């Protein structure tokens, strides 16, 4: 089972940059999108269907042109859950989950902490998410949580750990939460298979950051421990340039 997670920074903008052609060439079974920045009725769903994703599910933010997540699938899921049922998490369209035989896949877009108010919201979301996932794992142990976590976990995951130590996304509290989240029963699939530095999934549009590979690894495929032995491949697809993020890919023996 091939799963791709991609913060597209606006699905309509990504479509104009060749996203669909790239998707067909990459040929994943399931696609988790974040930051779609669109309502479902603003999209031509036949485009995704013609690309092989007859089953596409969209969970948009209440605010137009902002946030939002989606899951595209070649096969019909057994069940799809829109949001978490927690209003403060769901009004910005940040969680959608599709259950398949033997694996449940979530597309998750964790808030960024761009200012004090947003940082407070981010920490509240992180706390609520942990509680929600702890409960969900008891019911559905075979979870894969894909998405933009807006956190670099370790120094290896960011191009300049010293100068960014007080920047949201690399704060000690955020990193500690990520450690705690992993320790609660998940594996960072990419790091499980790849220990090399200088591998990132987001670059600022400023100062030629991408060309100079001055990036952050913000996008993860976290695999619940019961699925750990099924991890076949986990890579960052940095050649895809439809967004300021690039996709991350996970293959499971399924």
Nearest of 187, 189, 156 to residue 170 by alpha carbon? 156
Nearest of 78, 91, 92, 80 to residue 34 by alpha carbon? 92
Number of H helices, E strands in the chain: 7, 14
Nearest of 199, 192, 194 to residue 213 by alpha carbon? 199
Backbone dihedral angles phi then psi of residue 103, each to the nearest 5 degrees: -155, 140
Helix (H) or strand (E) holding 109: strand 103-109
CA distance 211 to 215: 10
The tokens describing 247, both together, are 């996709």
Contact (CB, 8 A) for 57 and 82? yes
Report which DSSP code applies to 41.
G
CA distance 112 to 118: 7
Q: Helical H runs in the chain?
A: 11-16, 19-26, 45-50, 87-90, 116-139, 172-183, 189-193
Catalytic residue among 148, 157, 188, 219: 148
Task: Identify whether 148 is a catalytic site residue.
Answer: yes
Please list the active-site residues.
Answer: 148
């Amino acid at each position: 089972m091939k799963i791709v997670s991609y913060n597209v920074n606006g699905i309509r903008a990504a479509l104009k940059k060749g996203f669909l052609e790239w998707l067909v060439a990459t040929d994943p079974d399931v696609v988790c999108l974040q930051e779609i920045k669109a309502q479902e009725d603003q999209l031509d769903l036949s485009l995704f269907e013609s690309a092989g994703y007859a089953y596409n599910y969209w969970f948009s933010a209440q605010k137009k042109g902002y946030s939002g997540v989606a899951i595209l699938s070649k096969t019909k899921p057994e069940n799809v859950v829109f949001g978490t049922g927690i209003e403060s998490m769901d009004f910005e369209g940040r969680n959608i989950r599709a259950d398949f035989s033997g694996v449940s896949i979530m597309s998750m877009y964790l808030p960024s902490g761009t200012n004090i108010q947003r940082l407070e919201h981010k920490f509240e979301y992180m706390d609520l998410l942990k509680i929600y996932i702890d409960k969900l794992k008891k019911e559905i142990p075979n979870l894969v949580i894909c998405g933009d976590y807006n956190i670099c976990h370790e120094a290896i995951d960011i191009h300049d750990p010293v100068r960014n130590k007080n920047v949201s996304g690399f704060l000690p509290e955020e990193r500690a939460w990520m450690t705690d989240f992993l320790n609660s029963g998940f594996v960072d699939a990419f790091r499980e298979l790849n220990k090399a530095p200088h591998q990132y999934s987001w670059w600022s549009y400023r100062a030629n950051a991408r060309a100079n590979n001055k990036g952050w690894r913000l996008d993860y495929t976290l695999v619940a421990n019961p699925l750990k032995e099924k991890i076949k491949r986990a890579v960052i697809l940095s050649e895809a340039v439809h967004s300021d993020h690039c996709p991350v890919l996970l293959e499971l023996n399924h």
